[in-house]
Amino acid sequence: MGRYCCFLAALLLQMVLLNAGLCSCQASTVEQSQPQHRENHRRVANTFEGFVEEPVFQGKAYVYEVGRNNPYSVVLIHGVGSGSARDWEKVIHILARQYHVIVFDLPGFGRSDKKNALYSPANYAAFVKWVVEKRVEGPFTLVGHSMGGAIALHFASIYPRDLQHLILIDVAGVLHRTVLSELSRKIKENIPFGELLLKPLDIVDKYAKIVMEAIEYQGLPGDLDSTLSSARLRLRVLKGNPNIIAGLAVANEDFSRRVEYIGQPVTIIWGAKDTVAPIRTGKALVARLPNARLIEMKGLSHSPMLEDPQRFNKLFMQNILAPTDRSVPLKIVGSKCVGRFEQKSNLTITGAYDRLEINNCHNIKLEKVTARSLLITKSKANIENSWVAGSKVALTSADSWITLTAVSLEGEVAIVAERSHLDLAGVVLKSKEIMVKSKEDSTLVFSVSKAVTGGKTQYLHGIHKLTSIEGDS
């Protein structure tokens, strides 16, 4: 229970910062320009704004359409936070010059009804499907930001009809929730107390109170599924708060299998300085999606459309209809070179090797590396966009902490781990016999990954604790 509570506290802290950040961006520009809320519909020739009765959560949802006479539609899904559809304010009317634009406040957010409901990606995807069926004719582009990106991913994996293009912006979730929890802890450690005081205190106080009450509740179940699926526990533990329910449901989602169902071109846009949803998430998605590319926006954080609207809109308009070429795959180059690195720090390694050995090193980065085998001992390493294949064991790790993103490991045995911690996202393991062997206790945390062992495919999203002489096939 303690571990679950710590995860809950860490994730809710991350949501506090996200809410606070969005509020800061919007305070001076958005609130003044929005129309007053009203319960009736307003129709003009090319615009619709009003409340509709929706069947998924059985409540009223706010919907806004503009450019209705344009033939091609763009549907925008907002993320968690107080802005809701307002997050797209600087985008909507630029888009409407050429496209039919549909935005809404997701049920549980903004002007839409709020209930103690299961605000999960699956239920939200069903809501988006209902909106699309009612208001879109023909092909369309679906755009999701933050939590909305996770919803868009879920939608695309099960409702592909007429979806021509998927655009994802700083997607929340995707990585396993223990990885998100660790990220939140680091965010907390690296934000000076003075900066926290600059955040909207009413939001911080509200969510801090929920966190403390959830931790103090002794009846808290041992798994997140139980809390989310029970109306009683959602109300008692999470106070029935839609922000918290939706955020936890996204963190609990497993996309490892779903990404392979998305055949449409996908453009992923990411603020390079995002600490809420790390760009590592985008790199992992590109590695696993069949047809995707990643565009980094230097200097921007989690909400690029709010932070630099002019720059974002230019990039966005260039990519609404543009076919996306998949990121260029790593070119495999044979080599007889043996690389040995000992007692090095803050070093980046690239290139082709027959065998690569890293010993007693700290903060070593391997990027665009190809090798037949990789041995890492007593080191902390980060491996990205690399391919290791051709020998009996692809990766051997001893007494090390290794983060792997968008990596392929192929061998008779993909990994041999000894007293190590491996964090793997967007990783593909291919082995003839056994996926992983452990000589002594090791932990592997998988996010949106997969393994093919002897022709059998497994989708990996979770924690694998391996004990002495244990193999995972």
State pLDDT tens for residues 315-359: 999 999 866 566 556 666 667 789 999 999 999 999 999 999 999
Opening angle at CA 216, ends 212 and 217, nearest 5 = 120
Mean pLDDT, range 210-236, rounded to an integer: 64
Q: Which residues pair with 466 in a beta bridge?
A: 442
Mean of pLDDT over the chain: 83
Instruction: Name which residue leads in pLDDT, 43 or 312.
Output: 312
Instruction: Name which residue leads in pLDDT, 19 or 399.
Output: 399
Q: Is the pLDDT of residue 7 over 70?
A: no
Mean pLDDT, range 422-448, rounded to an integer: 92
CA distance linking residue 248 with residue 156, whole number of Å: 21
Query: 277 and 147, same structural domain?
Result: yes
Query: 377 and 265, same structural domain?
Result: no
- Position 8 scores a pLDDT of 56
Instruction: Give me 226's structure tokens.
Output: 């139980």
- Position 421 scores a pLDDT of 95
| Domain final residue pick, 308, 328, 348 | 328
Mean pLDDT, range 421-446, rounded to an integer: 91
Query: 119 and 219, same structural domain?
Result: yes
From the number of C-beta atoms within 10 Å of its C-beta (0-12, 13-18, 19+), residue 270 rates as buried
The residue segments making up the domain with residue 408 are: 338-472
Instruction: Name which residue leads in pLDDT, 358 or 209.
Output: 358
CATH of the domain at 276: 3.40.50.1820
Q: How confident is the model at residue 191 (pLDDT cuts 50, 70, 90)?
A: very low
- Position 404 scores a pLDDT of 98
- Position 261 scores a pLDDT of 94
From the number of C-beta atoms within 10 Å of its C-beta (0-12, 13-18, 19+), residue 436 rates as buried
17-21, 362-366, 448-452: least confidently modelled range: 17-21
Query: 131 and 107, same structural domain?
Result: yes
Query: Rounded to two decimals, what is the model's pTM?
Result: 0.85
Query: 245 and 360, same structural domain?
Result: no
Query: 369 and 234, same structural domain?
Result: no
| Domain final residue pick, 328, 348, 365 | 328
Domain membership flag for residue 333:
no
| Domain final residue pick, 301, 328, 355 | 328
Instruction: Give me 357's structure tokens.
Output: 């050995």
CA distance linking residue 6 with residue 25, whole number of Å: 29
Rounded to the nearest 5 percent, the helix, strand and coil shares of the chain are 35, 35, 30
Percent of the chain scoring above 70 in pLDDT = 77
Query: 446 and 388, same structural domain?
Result: yes
Residue 91 CA: distances (Å) to CA of 18, 78, 246, 315: 20, 12, 24, 11
